[in-house]
Each structure stands twice: as structure tokens, then as C-alpha cells.
Amino acid sequence: MGGELQLDGKTRHFVTSDRLFAILAIVAGSYLLVVSEQQIDKPMAVLGATAEAMSPRTYPRLIAALIVVVGAILLWRSLKLPDTSQWSQVTAGGYRYVALSFLIMAVYSQLVMPIGFVVASAIVLLVLNTLYGNRNFVLGALFAVFVPLAIFNLFRNLMAVPLPEQEFLPRLVFM
């Protein structure tokens, strides 16, 4: 993945995905153990006894400890395991598409409430459709307009689930 080192005539990577995730697991597990007292209240005790024999803190602490232990085992094994990650299998251009797609989805998640599902989805469909290679812009525009309307009405009329509506356009509900 990164950080190449020449050792005994071989190229070894000392920064691998497995090691990074293992370290992350050890840090996260340790953090959850340390803050458990603060993040989990003690159950109410009546006459010195609680309703349950196992405190609500016990199980989370056990799992957090397991995360640390398994993380440590993975860190140790990563010294022997081959790097099976797939980072290098994709070109820089491919990652650009991924990053753009992810950014668009993140923006979409924030736009749905203020401007409504239909308008937000229309914008996202048009942008992604073009990004993913469509050059028939008329068909793309029709796709971007009618699909969100169809989904909006499907959810509202068939499933009685209201998706966020746009306030500045006429109601686009077809009964």
C-alpha cells in the first residue's frame, strides 16, 4: 500500500491496510474502554442491589477489550500476511470518479431536506448520468425529470411514505 522498504533484496511495505486497520482497532477499542465509565451510567440500585446481575457496562467493556485483542493479533499477523488490498488495482482516474461520486452523494444527503426529494434527485441523476458517460443529454434530462417524480409518487401513493417535498414549486403529487 505504501512506505516501501528494501530488505534482504525484497521490497516490503511497512504501511499496509491491515496494519492501519489493526492500529485503528486497538486505539478505538482502548478509547471505548477508557470512556465507558463516563459514557455508560450505572444502573439504579435499590438497597444496594441492581435489577440485573450483569451491569450494562460489562458487555460493552468485554467487546471493547476483544476489539483491542483482535486488533493486536491482526497487527502481529500483518507481519506475515500478504497484502491483499486492492488499492493499486485502480487508476488515479478511477479514484477521481469514486471521490466525485461520493462527494455528490454527500451533497445529495444534505440537499434532500431543504430543496425536496424531487429536485435534489433530479440534479443528482443528471450529474451522475453525465459523469458516468451518458452523452444523450435529451434522454438524460428526461430521465432526470421523470424518474424522481415516479419514485416520489410511488412512495407517497403506494406506500404512504412522504418523501421531503419542495416548498417553492407546485405540489407534484399525482393522486
- Residues at the interface with another protein (CB under 8 A): 17-18, 20-22, 25, 32, 35, 39-41, 43, 51-54, 56, 59-60, 63-64, 66-67, 70-71, 73-74, 77, 81, 84-87, 90, 93-95, 97-98, 101-102, 105-106, 108-110, 112-113, 117, 121, 124-125, 128-130, 132-134, 143, 147-148, 151, 155, 159-164
Q: Give min distance, CB of 8 to another protein, in A.
A: 24
**Helix pair angle (117-131, 92-115), 10° resolution:** 170
Handedness of CA 88, 91, 97, 100 (dihedral sign): positive
Q: Give min distance, CB of 134 to another protein, in A.
A: 4
Q: Give min distance, CB of 100 to another protein, in A.
A: 9
Q: Give min distance, CB of 16 to another protein, in A.
A: 9
State which residue, 4 or 56, has the beta carbon closest to another protein.
56
What cell numbers appear for 15 in the block?
A: 504501511
Task: Report residue 98: phi and psi, to 5°.
Answer: -65, -45
DSSP 43: P
Question: CA 21 to CA 73: how far, in whole Å?
Answer: 12
* Residue 58: partners with Cβ closer than 8 Å, 6 or more residues away: none
